[in-house]
Amino acid sequence: MHTELIIAVSNVRRSAEWYEQLLDCRGSHGGDTFEVLRNKEERVLLCLHHWGDHEHPTLSDRGIPAGNGIIIYFKVEDLDAVWRKAQALGAVVEEAPHLNPNSGLEEFSLRDPDGYYISVSS
C-alpha cells in the first residue's frame, strides 16, 4: 500500500515544470487541469490538480491558504543537487540545509509556486 498525494495548484503546467526541474521527475498525464509526476522508477511522486476543476470539494476554495496542515516531504539520494536546483529556481527557502536533530538527517525546506511547504531530506 502507498499514498498518492494530490494538491490543488493555480497553474498545473507551471507547477509541473517547477517540480520536474527540482526533483528530476516527469509528467505522465499532461494538460492544464491534472498532472501525474513520476520518478525514474515510474512511481507516482505527486499529482497536481487545478483549483476548482472537476468539483472535488477539498480542491475548490483557493481562498484557503495552500497546504494548511500539510508538509510535502521528499527523500532524495542527492540532497546537494536538489538544493542547487532549488536555488536556481529561485525557490522561497524556509530553512537552509541543516542537520535535523530529530531524524539525524540533512534536510532543507522551501515553498513551491503555490506556497506549499516542501521538506527535502537525504
- In degrees rounded to 5, what are phi and psi of residue 53? -80, 150
> Residue 65 above 80 pLDDT?
no
* Rounded to 5°, angle at Cα 45 from 43 and 50: 125
At what angle are helices 12-23 and 79-88 packed, to 10 degrees? 140
Residue 45, in any domain of the structure: yes
| Confidence at residue 20, expressed as pLDDT on a 0 to 100 scale | 98
pLDDT in tens, 17-64: 999 999 999 999 988 999 999 999 999 999 999 987 777 777 777 787
What is the widest separation between alpha-carbon atoms in the chain?
A: 42
Residue 52, in any domain of the structure: yes
Residue 96, in any domain of the structure: yes
CATH code of residue 21: 3.10.180.10
| Confidence at residue 99, expressed as pLDDT on a 0 to 100 scale | 97
Number of domains in the chain: 1
Residue 1, in any domain of the structure: no
Q: What is the DSSP string of 29-66?
A: S-SSSEEEEE-TT--EEEEEEETTGGG-GGGS-TTSPT
